[in-house]
């Protein structure tokens, strides 16, 4: 693949834009979501949405947007439904960040928790060793190493108590 | 060396993420992970009777607190 300067710029711009986007979730009555929310989102320029029907008349919509677009969408909602959490919001059973988080917590297992701590500690060690602002801070490295040791002990406990946890 | 568009995207993304990583985001990601550990240790039916797991969570929390104190002392405006 031959890359021109403008193409490379375009790729970097795309990546930067994606990094600024944050996942958001709306949950509400299926009827309300279909008739009101989805058209509103289309108007706000949100094209890629993931829709999930949890049954019982509840529906969830996931989408990635940057803060500016999200704020605009919230303002539009406030105009038609009043302030967040008010009577009309309750009537529509509408939540800004929805069921997903709760469901994720229910599905959270010890393996994913263990590895998320591991990843975060690795990042701490990376900063302590490679970031110019912190590389001379010995205590920060010590903290990283202490966290690592504790993770090792936790691993041993999990291996001993729950053989098939990993 | 030939490089595909997706490989290039991945390299750029990795580098950008590393650049964005600061002590504040690292501190809070450790905190979130520890909170999840405590949540599993206290609320998950499979692990809620495991006292050692709760102890581990509390030890991690203590260490996290000590890290915060160190950062407060050494880099006043880190947060």
A148 CB burial (10 A radius; 0-12, 13-18, 19+): middle
Say which CATH number the domain at A46 has: 3.30.70.120
Looking at the fold, whether A80 and A141 belong to one and the same domain comes out as no
CA A17 to chain centre: 16
pLDDT at A40: 80
Q: Name the residue with higher pLDDT: A42 or A16.
A: A42
Give the count of domains, chain A. 2
d(CA A136, CA A121): 18
Contact A123 B66 (CB under 8 A): no
Asked if residues A70 and A24 have their Cβ atoms less than 8 Å apart, the reply is yes
Contact A116 B22 (CB under 8 A): no
Q: Name the residue with higher pLDDT: A76 or A100.
A: A76
- Listed in sequence order, the residues at least 6 apart from A152 whose beta carbon sits closer than 8 Å to its beta carbon are none
Q: A160 in contact with B at a CB cutoff of 8 Å?
A: no
Q: End of a domain among A68, A88, A106?
A: A106
Within a domain: A166:
no
Q: Name the residue range of residue A115's domain.
A: 108-161
pLDDT tier at B3, thresholds 50, 70, 90 = confident
Q: Which residues of A touch B8 (CB under 8 A)?
A: 3, 8, 11
> Rounded to the nearest 10 degrees, what angle do helices B51-74 and B23-43 cross at?
160
Contact A146 B32 (CB under 8 A): no
Of B9, B26, B44, the CB nearest to A124: B26
Closest CA to A157 of B53, B8, B34, B24: B53
Question: What's the complex ipTM?
Answer: 0.79
pTM of the model: 0.57
């Amino acid at each position: 693949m031959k890359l021109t300067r403008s193409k490379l710029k375009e790729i970097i711009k795309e990546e930067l834009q994606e990094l600024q986007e944050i996942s958001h979730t709306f949950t509400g009555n299926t009827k309300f979501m279909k008739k009101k929310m989805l058209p509103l989102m289309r108007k706000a320029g949100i094209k890629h949405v993931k829709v999930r029907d949890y049954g019982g008349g509840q529906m969830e919509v996931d989408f990635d947007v940057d803060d500016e677009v999200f704020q605009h969408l919230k303002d539009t909602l406030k105009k038609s439904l009043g302030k967040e959490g008010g009577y009309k919001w309750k009537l529509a059973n509408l939540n800004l960040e929805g069921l997903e988080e709760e469901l994720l917590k229910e599905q959270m297992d010890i393996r994913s928790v263990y590895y998320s701590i591991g990843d975060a500690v690795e990042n701490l060690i990376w900063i302590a060793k490679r970031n110019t602002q912190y590389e001379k801070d010995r205590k920060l490295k010590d903290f990283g190493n202490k966290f690592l040791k504790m993770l090792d002990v936790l691993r041993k406990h999990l291996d001993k108590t729950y053989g098939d946890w990993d | 060396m030939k490089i595909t568009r997706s490989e290039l995207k991945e390299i750029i993304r990795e580098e950008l993420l590393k650049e964005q990583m600061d002590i504040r985001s690292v501190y809070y990601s450790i905190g979130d992970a520890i909170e999840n550990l405590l949540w599993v240790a206290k609320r998950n039916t499979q692990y809620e009777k495991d006292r050692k797991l709760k102890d581990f969570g509390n030890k991690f929390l203590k260490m996290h607190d000590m890290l915060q104190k160190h950062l407060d002392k050494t880099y006043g405006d880190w947060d």
